[in-house]
Amino acid sequence: MSTENTVFPANLRYSESVRRLPPLAALLLAGCLFPSSSSSKGDGGASQNGFGSPSVLVTAGGGRVGPVVPAAGSYADLVDEKDPLTGRVTASRLSIYALGANAACQIYAERLGDGVYPFFATGYTLQAQVTATTSDGTASPGAGERVVVGDTSWRCVGSGCDGAQLTLRALDATHVEGFLSGTFESEQVANYADAVTCSFWLPFRTFQR
């Protein structure tokens, strides 16, 4: 197990030019951090090239923790809500809490609207919802996202999460595997942001479709 704590440069300040990673750069970064294993198909037809067993890997601000086996208390919940009269999905909510030695990720995403497509194994761009139904290829950050490495943490909420990438490489009734990648605000240093990535493989605590 490798653990490195983040140290913030004292004179480094946030710039609008780095507020959001370009989507391709974010995906490439996360892909480099995702170990390769045997290939299989997940729900939605996405290829699974990941950990293959419960794992979490977190990088932020130059620090890296993992991959390690998730600690007790880690969980993943997926709950789809349906209209009792029509049977159409009206909400799909995904919650992930991945806890490792000296690191943690809290991920929340939702898709809302009458007849909205629920979550499956594909990529989503986080985008604060402004219409009645979540647009295809996007997910609302809801309560927001948070990543911790050592004694430092980064977070985004609402439109501050816009542009971050949530990629689900595999999703079925037993587990979810994927990564979250973006540029989040520091909770310790004002007006400072950094690129973060959280890769995870977690069994579902709750799976309701």
The lowest-confidence range among 5-14, 111-120, 198-207 is 5-14
Give the chain's length: 209
Does pLDDT of 6 surpass 50?
no
CA 124/CA 169 separation, integer angstroms: 11
Contact 26, 178 (CB under 8 A): no
The domains of the chain are located at 18-208
pLDDT digits (tens, 9 = 90+) for 33-54: 444 333 333 333 233 457 899 9
Does pLDDT of 4 surpass 50?
no
User: Does residue 26 come out as left (phi exceeding 0), alpha (psi in the -120 to 50 range) or beta?
Assistant: alpha
Taking alpha carbons only, the member of 107, 183, 187, 115 closest to residue 141 is 107
pTM metric for this prediction? 0.77
pLDDT digits (tens, 9 = 90+) for 67-103: 999 999 999 999 999 999 999 999 999 999 999 989 9
Mean pLDDT for all residues in the chain = 82
Kindly state the average pLDDT of the residues 181-186: 97
C-alpha distances in Å from residue 59, one per residue of 80, 114, 198: 30, 37, 7
**Intra-chain end-to-end CA distance of the chain, in Å:** 36
